[in-house]
Amino acid sequence: MLSPALFIAFLGGVLPALLWLTFWLLEDRLHPEPKRYIFFCFIAGMILVTPIHIGDYLFGIVLPLEKLALLHLSGIKLLFVWAFIEEVAKFAAAYVVALRARVFDEPLDAVIYLVTVALGFSAAENALFLMNPLTQGNILQIVVTGDLRFIGATLLHTLSSATIGIALAFAFYKGREARLWAALWGVVLAVALHTLFNFFILKAGSASTFWIFLIIWLGIIAVLLGVERIKKPAPIYS
């Protein structure tokens, strides 16, 4: 039977992510994606957290690569490896579920599917972060942790995955080689953003945290401007 703490943590992680997902789906309301693919992408993102994170919380083990990184790396190198694993995993999930299928038939689809996976990932990750204070009955920590996770990590996962989606979208009408390079550079930029965010959020004081979140918000705005450009006819941006 599902415990109350687990149920509340699940809702606390999933509901904010679904709100964000609704917002992004409205960007594609003129040519909406099949609901089953959106569902599968969201679930795929949640499932990714199991191999990437759940060992840390329930079993005290991590994937071989992550364990190797923890043993031999520290500082920004360790943060880079974690960011690389997460960004590549999210991209791979979106590719396996949707980006290689016929439903990927217009540029904006790349952004929608990648953001959907990212929000599923964020939902499960946030739920795990909420579980510990919930089981200990620490209500204040729940509020603070939930707020920061929603504002910070959710935006970060959205921004980093949307960055890959934007790169793929602008290369949609180009040749195979151009699309491969777009995917590569999108992943590189996403990993860089993810690494730098984690680095500065760990080093920053309370005053600097505001500016870090502000930069993330500005990044989201830049992505939305990119989305508006993608919606225009192909010759305008291809």
pLDDT at 163 over 80: yes
pLDDT score, position 61: 35
Mean local confidence (pLDDT), 210-233: 87
Are 172 and 179 within 8 A, CB to CB?
Answer: yes
61 vs 28, higher pLDDT: 28
Residue 90 has pLDDT above 80, yes or no: yes
Give the pLDDT band of residue 59 (cuts 50, 70, 90). Answer: very low
Q: What is the mean pLDDT of residues 133-148?
A: 56
CA angle 152, 155, 160 (to 5 degrees): 120
- What local confidence, expressed as pLDDT, does residue 62 receive? 35
- Could you tell me if 41 and 94 are in contact, meaning their C-beta atoms sit under 8 angstroms apart? yes
Structural domain count, the chain = 1
Lowest mean pLDDT among 11-15, 70-74, 109-113, 224-228: 70-74
Q: How far apart are CA 94 and CA 168, in angstroms?
A: 12
Distances (CA, A) of 135 to 28, 69, 78, 131, 138: 39, 30, 29, 6, 8
Q: Considering the chain, what percentage of its residues have pLDDT values greater than 70?
A: 73
Does residue 8 surpass a pLDDT of 80? no
The answer to which of 7-16, 111-120, 213-222 has the lowest mean pLDDT is: 7-16
Q: Is 63's pLDDT higher than 70?
A: no
Q: With cut-offs at 50, 70 and 90, classify the pLDDT of residue 211.
A: confident
Domain residues for the domain of 38 are 4-237
Task: Evaluate whether 16 touches 158 at the Cβ level (below 8 Å).
Answer: no
Mean pLDDT of the region 168-183: 93
Rounded mean pLDDT of 155-160? 92
Tokens 């949609």 sit at which residue?
A: 172
Per-residue pLDDT band at 234 (split at 50, 70, 90):
low
pLDDT value, residue 205: 59
User: Rounded to two decimals, what is the model's pTM?
Assistant: 0.85
Q: Which of 90-99, 105-114, 142-151, 204-213 has the lowest mean pLDDT?
A: 142-151
